[in-house]
Structure 1
Amino acid sequence: MRKRLLSMFLLLFSGGLLFAQDLPADSTKKSVSDSLSYLEKSSIQLHGGTQGFGISARYAFLPMLSGRLGGSFGSVKISEGIEFDNLSSDNTLKAELSNLHLWAEFSPLSWLRINAGAGYFFKLKAKAVTVPNESITQDGITLEPEEIGSLTTEVSYKKFAPYFGLGLGRGIPKHRFNVNFDIGTYYLSSPHVTMTGTEYLEDNSHNGPILERNMRDYRWLPVLQLNLSFKLSKS
């Protein structure tokens, strides 16, 4: 069986070589020219900004119209103390964002791009944890921090969001490399909010829907992004 497979492979390989040798020189040149044409219309970019860091690919279907497919990931964590209602607390806020986006780019000018498309968010959520760090006295009763408990607030959005924005600078470099910018926004769904507490703060779940109503207009996710673009051809 192995000898048969080897013989078949050698036969196909030798046939391929003979076919390649029989190809006209013009056909070979045309194939190389077509490949270079595709590369001339393509670029890869690394980006960083308000939606995190990521990478994307761009292809110009027409002189003024390109498509762009990419992904971004971002995560931020903030810890600080806050005092409210005469109660000092330690607070931790963590936000996570990761998406896959597909945009169309229309370029009425060489340096100006109008972008429209959508993003699919694998993660788009924020979590805040509040933990009192001092005792409180109420109605003659003193509660220590561990008796007061903690309060956790979580905010999340649906996965799909449309996008609109502007791009400044060539999407596909004139030479090999350039720097350009994106300014725009995603229009998110209304946020979903939950609040859970422990110990003395346990009875706070009813505040989740109240905060959700107060945040119903928090639907704009701004995008301010710096792009480092590389054209795939050397010309």
Structure 2
Amino acid sequence: MKRKIYIFLLSSCLFISPTFSQEDSGDNIKKEKKNAIAVSFGVPGFGIEYARKISPKISAKVVWHSYTLKDYEQNDIELDGETINALINFKSSVYDIGFEWTPSLNSSFKFIAGLGIFSDFSLNGVATYTEDITVGNVTVTKQDVGEITAETTWSGAAPYVGLGFGRAVPKRRLGFGIELGTYISNSPDVNLQASKLLAPTANQEDTLREALSDLKFIPRILFRLSYKF
């Protein structure tokens, strides 16, 4: 009788042991990493990004872009037979909230869409004459001619669309990518100021605003380096 009991207990142990082994191996399976951070550069600036994989083909992400160009000089510009110098300033601070969809699991080609929020997106230019101006028999020095200052500002929210290569959450630990698209924004606000002899030019603000009204498509071009965790 005791021999039969020993055989039964031994058989039970042999049966239970593989069962626990399988459960332990299941617990040790690594969970899929669905998060990534990335850095990017391009237009509208340098970016910092966080992405989350929602499904095998869809990822969501938030991005902050920023860039500042200060006192960039462009000299000897020909305009209506006159030569001028321009001093240009540009500043961008844009927040993106968007999604990307990869149609095929075997390719990193993707479509992107989202909403950009222009916290600060402005272009400022100051134009001055480089030489004296002669009108008839009268010569006006370049200092007395004055200068023209034009400031163009985009604000509010703007949807964006595009396409690219490289997943927001890469298959491997590191991933590279490129995105090509455009923001679809409202017409920019324009402020035109002029001094001295050029002061009457400030009345052309409405004309300049109308000329810039079609600047609703702002490029969105990014080169990305991402890290999955």
**Does residue 65 of the first structure (1) align with residue 62 of the second (2)?**
no
Name the aligned partner's letter for residue 150 of structure 1: E
Partner of 2:132: 135
What is the aligned counterpart of 1:192 among 189, 192, 195?
189
What is the aligned counterpart of 1:117 among 105, 110, 114?
114
Partner of 2:177: 180
Aligned residues: 201
Name the aligned partner's letter for residue 42 of structure 2: G
Identity %: 25
2:46 and 2:141 mapped to 1: Cα distance?
Answer: 42
Displacement of 1:167 = 2.4
1:164 and 1:145 mapped to 2: Cα distance?
Answer: 46
What is the aligned counterpart of 1:213 among 202, 210, 214?
210
Partner of 2:141: 144
TM-score by length of 2: 0.81
Gap change, CA 1:37 and 1:70, over 3 Å in 2: farther
Displacement of 1:135 = 0.8
Displacement of 1:57 = 0.5
1:37 and 1:81 mapped to 2: Cα distance?
Answer: 61
1:194 and 1:170 mapped to 2: Cα distance?
Answer: 41
Structure with larger Rg: 2
Whether contact under 8 Å (1:123, 1:159) holds in the other structure is no
What is the aligned counterpart of 1:96 among 91, 94, 101?
91
Superimposed CA distance per residue, residues 93-123 of structure 1 (whole angstroms, 9 cap, x where no aligned partner): 2222111110111221231221111111111
Alpha-carbon RMSD across the aligned residues, in angstroms, is 2.0
Superimposed CA distance per residue, residues 155-209 of structure 1 (whole angstroms, 9 cap, x where no aligned partner): 1112211111112122212121011111111001112222111110111222111
1:163 and 1:85 mapped to 2: Cα distance?
Answer: 37
TM-score by length of 1: 0.79
Gap change, CA 1:160 and 1:147, over 3 Å in 2: same
Displacement of 1:86 = 3.2
Displacement of 1:78 = 4.4
Is 54-63 or 167-176 further displaced after alignment?
167-176
Partner of 2:227: 230
Which aligned pairs between 1:35-50 and structure 2 lie closer than 5 A?
A: 37=31, 40-50=33-43
Name the aligned partner's letter for residue 48 of structure 2: I
**Does residue 55 of the first structure (1) align with residue 48 of the second (2)?**
yes
Structure 2 unaligned runs (5+)? 1-22
Give the match's secondary structure for 1:95: strand
Displacement of 1:66 = 1.1
What is the aligned counterpart of 1:82 among 53, 67, 77?
77
Whether contact under 8 Å (2:76, 2:130) holds in the other structure is no
Gap change, CA 1:89 and 1:41, over 3 Å in 2: same
Whether contact under 8 Å (2:73, 2:85) holds in the other structure is no
2:128 and 2:57 mapped to 1: Cα distance?
Answer: 54
Partner of 1:159: 156
